[in-house]
Amino acid sequence: MTESDAAGATLSVRRLRGVERLAGPLLIVRRAPGIALGEQVIVTGRDGARRHGQVIELAPDLAVVQAYEGTAGLDLGSTLVEFTGEPFRLGVSAQMLGRVLDGRGRPIDDGPAIVPLRLVDVNGGTINPAARDHPSDFIETGVSAIDLLASLVRGQKLPIFTGAGLPADQLAARIATGARVLGEERFVTIFAAMGITRREADFFRDAFSASGALDRIAFFLNLAEDPAIERLLTPRCALSLAEHLAFELGMDVLVVLTDVAAYAEALRELGTAREEIPGRRGYPGYLYTDLATLFERAGRVKGLPGSLTVLPIVTMPDDDMTHPIPDLTGYITEGQIVLSRDLWGGAISPPIDVLPCLSRVMNAGIGAGRTRPEHRVVADQLYALYARGRELRRLVTVIGEAALSASEQRVLGFADRFERLLVGQGPVHRTLDQSFDVAWRLLDELPPDELTRIPAEVLAARRPAETDETTGEPPEGTT
């Protein structure tokens, strides 16, 4: 295996034979002089296999090393520990696009060696909040429910909350291959797999291959079978490359991180091994801070051309949005896209439940001059009607549909059509104009006094007999 991380080769190496204690992913070693916190360590076992680790704690006599590949196969007496004197650094380069790399950024395809342009500390820095350019460029994903109701904006971090068996991967691949900022080049994508299966990884590779975009994507793969602790490095490597491409080379970069749940579990595993006091459900109390150091790397910087958009995928254990992982993610990210098992069961694809969906930076990206002047009010109106329709649906199970007023029956019907026609668009890519056409067709079926969120002048400008140009169908029920 080639050591493309290049850290160990050049520096003065201090060696230590034998360790004091081995516990899960941790090695407790006697403290050699001059060991630094965060320093990278190379551990060689009796079998000659090299493992990598990092110093995470210094005590008066001992040092604690976390081993990314675990400690299986090591013994106390003959294990060789080498301190490299350097933190973990990743060599980054645009050559990594089109390549498949392991969870630590080393190529695992058959391609040529990567010549790094620069070595970077994968922990990155903090974007100065005063230097941030505030996200304001609408990204067309081609998915109506997202484009209309929870618009993605360049530089945003927007997770997909999903449940086991729901098609989050398909949605993420679709966004990554189809997303574009109006009038600009497509995105480059960095895909960071954290503990997902080979099947899921293959799906993504196939999806990108089918879209002809394989040369615009870099894969970082830490699969379910790979060492769990290495998972803590994978998103950091991916984001470091993304920062290089975005802020040094000026590209628009989309980073897909999947699955955040597996990442959090790796963090919990490490916390438990360190005998830390756990927070909720055994996850460490610093899970929020740790996830924030990943997601907050998204953004745009004033005066620099590129952007870094992050799309994490979070599997909610038991579809529970209050579980600590989606809960803390939601507190960090700028909204969320939520998939619903009920809609999926009802053959609505993509099964996006728009009620809990939210895009916090949407307002800056939509409206006159960006999307459509009426975008906000149309989104609010669709949302309000659908929310009422869903409530009525609950009511109908108790009192029956016959007990509803005419107006309530109209709203109920709207909710059904909204799910089928607007959300359940199937695999087609809809331009923003096409999405608006569908939205207006649904709204046009209702009498104007139901549309309380839409100002009278917008309706007046709209209602003089419009025909629908994309499908050729006349709008139904126009009054």
Options 1, 9, 115, 277; binder of another protein; rule CB under 8 A = 277
Instruction: List the one residue out of 320, 365, 317, 315 whose CA is nearest residue 133.
Output: 365
Minimum Å distance from CB 24 to another protein?
17
Beta strands 80-87 and 14-17 are: antiparallel
The tokens describing 450, both together, are 């139901």
Question: CB of 192 within 8 A of CB of 32?
Answer: no
Rounded Cα–Cα distance for residues 261 and 267 (Å): 10
User: Considering beta carbons, is residue 175 or 301 the nearer one to another protein?
Assistant: 301
DSSP class of 353: -
Q: How far is the CB of 417 from another protein (least distance, A)?
A: 20
On whether the CB atoms of residues 43 and 81 are closer than 8 A, the answer is yes
| 301 is a contact residue toward another protein (CB under 8 A) | yes
**DSSP-derived secondary structure letter, 107:** B
Q: Which stretch binds another protein (CB under 8 A): 12-20, 179-187, 299-307, 308-316?
A: 299-307
Q: Residue 127 Cβ, how far from another protein at the closest point, in Å?
A: 6
Cβ proximity to another protein: between 18 and 38 the closer is: 38
Binding to another protein (CB under 8 A): which residues in 150-189?
Answer: 155-156
Q: Which is nearer to another protein, 195 or 335 (CB)?
A: 335
Nearer to another protein, 429 or 463 (CB): 463
Q: Distance between CA atoms of 90 and 399, rounded to whole angstroms? A: 63
Q: Per CB under 8 A, which of residues 392..411 are in contact with another protein?
A: 394-395, 398-399, 403, 405
Q: Does 87 bind another protein (CB under 8 A)?
A: yes
| Residue 39, C-beta contacts closer than 8 angstroms, at least 6 positions apart | 54, 55, 83, 84, 85, 86, 87
Facing residues of 66 across strands? 26, 54
- Residue 299 contacts another protein per CB under 8 A: yes
d(CA 314, CA 264): 10
Tell the smallest beta-carbon distance from residue 99 to another protein (Å).
26
Q: Which of 222, 234, 258, 336 binds another protein (CB under 8 A)?
A: 336
387 binds another protein per the rule CB under 8 A: yes
Q: How far is the CB of 222 from another protein (least distance, A)?
A: 22
Instruction: Give the range of 3-11, 166-174, 214-222, 375-383 binding another protein by CB under 8 A.
Output: 375-383
The DSSP string of 436-459 is: HHHHHHHHHTS-GGG-TTS-HHHH
Residue whose CB is less far from another protein, 39 or 269 = 39
C-beta of 55 vs 173, nearer to another protein:
55
Could you say whether residue 34 binds another protein (CB under 8 A)? yes
Q: Residue 261: which residues within 8 A CB-CB, separation 6 or more?
A: 314, 315, 316, 317, 325
If we measure between CA atoms, which residue out of 314, 306, 369 comes closest to residue 338? 314
**Rounded distance between C-alpha atoms, residue 471 and residue 479, angstroms:** 20
- In angstroms, the CA 394 to CA 166 distance is 24
| Shortest Å, Cβ 280 to another protein | 6
Q: Is 250 in the site for another protein (CB under 8 A)?
A: no
Compute CA distances 99 → 33, 94, 105, 120, 220, whole Å.
Answer: 40, 10, 10, 19, 9
A 10 A CB-CB count for 473 gives 9
Q: Decide if residue 304 touches another protein (CB under 8 A).
A: yes
Residue span 337-356 as binding mask against another protein, x where in contact by CB under 8 A, dash where not:
------------------xx
Q: Does 58 bind another protein (CB under 8 A)?
A: yes
Nearer to another protein, 46 or 302 (CB): 302
CA 34 centroid distance within chain: 38
* 317 interacts with another protein by CB under 8 A: no
* Cα torsion through 388, 391, 396, 397, rounded to 10: 160
Q: Which of 9, 112, 212, 322 binds another protein (CB under 8 A)?
A: 322
Does 273 bind another protein (CB under 8 A)? Our answer is no
Identify residues 101-130 at the interface with another protein (CB under 8 A).
Answer: 123-130
Choice from 11, 13, 23, 36 touching another protein (CB under 8 A): 36
Q: Which of residues 353-372 bind another protein (CB under 8 A)?
A: 355-356, 358, 360-361, 363-364
d(CA 430, CA 425) in angstroms, rounded, equals 8
296 binds another protein (CB under 8 A): yes
Site for another protein in 413-472 (CB under 8 A): 449, 452, 455-456
CB closer to another protein out of 452 and 471: 452
- Binding of another protein by 293 (CB under 8 A): yes
Which of 22, 29, 35, 67 binds another protein (CB under 8 A)? It is 35
